[in-house]
């Protein structure tokens, strides 16, 4: 239960980074909602990796490069799910706020990413 609580904490901070970066790009009209979200997700992924590696799961018994590649693969799969839900919301519900779409996208990826990180990235070494 402790790991899941720290995972949710990391996710909450990652979510704040995600929304904050998205807000900056949209507020200053630097990018469209789709392009801005790609960069926001990348920033959030970096943030959550550092927290999950340090506090949630601890370093794995793998080399950092292998651990990072595994984290990245789960993160990318999770981000694709997250981005797909976000994009579908924006395209199918034109009046929806991009920030509500972020909530829906992020929520959809939470369980997937926890299982992937806890078992594939930081789980026991075979």
Look at residue 101 and give its three-state secondary structure. helix
**Among candidate residues 41, 33, 19, the one with its CA nearest the CA of residue 113:** 41
The answer, yes or no, to whether residue 31 has pLDDT greater than 90, is: yes
**Among candidate residues 109, 13, 96, the one with its CA nearest the CA of residue 52:** 13
Mean pLDDT over 88-98 rounds to 97
Query: DSSP state, 52?
Result: I
pLDDT in tens, 42-60: 999 999 989 999 999 988 8
pTM as predicted: 0.84
Whole-number Å distance between alpha carbons of 30 and 118: 36
- Going from N- to C-terminal start, the domains of the chain cover 2-121
Percent of the chain with pLDDT over 70: 98
Count of Cβ atoms closer than 10 Å to residue 46 Cβ: 12
Please report which confidence band the pLDDT of residue 123 belongs to, taking 50, 70 and 90 as the band edges: confident
What pLDDT is attached to residue 126?
59
Contact at 8 Å (CB) between 41 and 18?
A: yes
């Amino acid at each position: 239960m402790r790991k899941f609580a720290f995972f949710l904490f990391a996710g909450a901070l990652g979510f704040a980074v995600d929304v904050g970066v998205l807000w900056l790009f949209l507020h200053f009209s630097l990018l469209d909602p789709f392009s801005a979200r790609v960069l926001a997700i990348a920033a959030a992924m970096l943030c959550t990796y550092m927290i999950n590696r340090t506090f949630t799961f601890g370093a794995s018994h793998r080399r950092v490069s292998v651990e990072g590649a595994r984290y990245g693969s789960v993160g990318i799969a999770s981000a694709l799910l997250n981005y797909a839900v976000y994009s579908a919301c924006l395209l199918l519900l034109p009046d929806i706020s991009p920030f509500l779409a972020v909530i829906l996208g992020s929520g959809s990826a939470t369980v997937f990413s926890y299982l992937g990180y806890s078992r594939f990235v930081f789980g026991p070494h075979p």
